[in-house]
Chain A
Amino acid sequence: MREIDAKQITDIVARLCVEANRHLAGDVKNCIQCARKEEPWPIAQEILDRIIENFNIADENEMAICQDTGLACVFLEIGQDVHVNGSIEEAVNAGVAKGYTEGFLRKSSVAEPLQFRKNTLDNTPAMIYYDLVPGDKIKITVAPKGFGSENMSQIKMLKVSDGAEGVKNFVVKVIEEAGPNPCPPIVVGVGIGGTFDKAALLAKKAIIRPLEERHPDPYYAAMEAELLEKVNALGIGPQGFGGKTTALAVNIETMSTHIAGLPVAVNINCHVTRHKTEVL
């Protein structure tokens, strides 16, 4: 069994927090630049130019792309042949605290949701998602998640008879209701199937999937394309000022579900869709 020191996880998480928040991923940059070329509406073109200028400034100045540097969502794919010396949870949180403090990132985490809402001052605890996988590696993805877009996300337990039309109508309705609030152009993550909670997790995983990657099943890949077209026909546009570019991509993730159920979750991300991965 391979042995890993928990400290190694801390160092990687810290680095990924800073990198993800300062340097927009290549797939997202490409997508925004392509959208700019295809955007016919003048005010929308201007907004997209500023958005491109913004991520370039962040790159050059090594500063946060957006002030909402998010809750630190950390996805761990842990090989079952790895043994970690020390607490994985503590190692991840130490990494988040280090990255957010040393990287001049905003601390946006409150310790509990209702009573005092006291800021924890180091952006911990991280939102950690564990998957056990074959092998002896650990794949670590940090995806800081801003809440302007998170707040616009919705979940619905559809009837089986609602079918594909029901799914598509729900996704479009969520985007329409969100309007300008989640900082369009947005990335739309859709989770279909599973249970109430698994659908939401699928949607969250969908927004960190590379934007140019389609669902492996041609049926769902076609639905992604159709939904992107429908969403971009809404006319909301960048920042909601009107235009073609409401969404950069619609990513669907699916899994098995109950004979009586059709759970659908829509997780929205903004144009600052951040994710950075390293394999240990």
Chain B
Amino acid sequence: MATIKITTPLTPEKARTLKSGDSVLISGVIYTGRDAAHKRLCQLLDEGKPLPIDVKDQIIYFVGPSPAKPGMAIGSAGPTTSYRMDAYSPRIIEQGLTGMIGKGKRGPEVIEAMKKHGCVYFGAIGGAGALLSKCIKKAEVVAYEDLQSEAIRRLEVEDLPATVIIDAEGNNLYQWGREEYLETLNK
């Protein structure tokens, strides 16, 4: 399977061309956010206040990096389990988010929002934080510094390897990948 290069911002039209199972290399600016930051973003939406970052056509990486050693942009930075963001993701997608990077299953409401608005769920390799940190060239906290590793960071990434797990049509690699493998055993 060919590897597709993606440069952010990611428009919904471009997002809809990506298919479940595609290998991608992501470059450009992406934002980090996980449990506590998502909770705050949704509180702001509840209050009708603007978000600290414009998520339109952007990708959020569910990650809480380890601290950077001197001379490095960031520490180890692999994905965290995504289902904990399921309660919040549909609302962020409504605001124009077109990509999420994480690992693990997503709930039906998230997938419905992805289909409706043109958003893709990418998987980065869980536990490969040292390898993934090599693709992050610059990192700066742009919101919620008090949340430490959970603060929202603006990352500049170069060829960050990921796989399209769930595409904007709702096709899910976790389902069909396993089924295809098991079929080969029965042949």
Contacts and interface: CB of A to CB of B under 8 A. Distances in A.
A133 B75 CA distance: 39
A155 B173 CA distance: 29
Nearest to B147: A119
Contact of B148 (A62, A105, A119, A151): A119
A192 to B, nearest CB: 27
Interface string A54-96: 1101100111111111000000000000000000000000000
B180 interface: yes
Contacts of B69: 62-63, 104
Nearest to A240: B174
Contact of A242 (B76, B104, B180): B180
A263 interface: no
B182 interface: yes
Interface string B59-83: 0000111111100100111101101
Interface stretch (B90-98, B107-115, B127-135): B127-135
A173 B105 CA distance: 16
Contact of B131 (A50, A117, A271): A50
Given A104-B75, A105-B67, A181-B83, A66 B127 contact: yes
A234 B163 CA distance: 21
Contacts, number: 149
B116 to A, nearest CB: 24
Contacts of A41: 181, 184
Contacts of A244: 181
Contact of B128 (A54, A105, A151): A54
B125 to A, nearest CB: 5
Main secondary structure of the interface of B (DSSP, over half): mixed
A121 B148 CA distance: 8
Interface residues of B, number: 44
Interface in A78-137: 104-108, 117, 119, 121
B33 interface: no
B180 A239 contact: no
B126 interface: yes
Contacts of B185: 235
Contacts of B170: none
Nearest to B104: A181
Interface in B145-187: 147-149, 161, 163, 173-174, 177-182, 184-185
A236 B126 contact: no
A183 B127 contact: yes
Contact of B130 (A61, A235, A242): A61
B160 to A, nearest CB: 12
Determine which residue in B66, B75, B126, B178 has the highest number of CB atoms from chain A within 10 A of its CB, and name it. B126
A interface SS class: loop
Interface string A229-240: 000001111011
A201 to B, nearest CB: 24
Nearest to B74: A67
A203 B177 CA distance: 30
Nearest to A64: B76
A221 interface: no
B148 A241 contact: no
A56 to B, nearest CB: 9
B103 interface: yes
Interface string A129-163: 00000000000000000001001000000000000
Contact of B64 (A47, A50, A106, A271): A106
A104 B67 contact: yes
A148 B80 contact: yes
A272 B127 CA distance: 6
A236 B36 CA distance: 30
Contacts of A182: 81
A57 B126 CA distance: 15
A106 B67 CA distance: 6
Given A57-B130, A107-B148, A183-B103, 19 more contacts: A41-B181, A50-B131, A50-B161, A51-B125, A51-B127, A51-B128, A54-B127, A63-B75, A67-B129, A104-B68, A117-B36, A119-B148, A148-B104, A148-B126, A179-B174, A235-B181, A237-B178, A239-B103, A270-B126
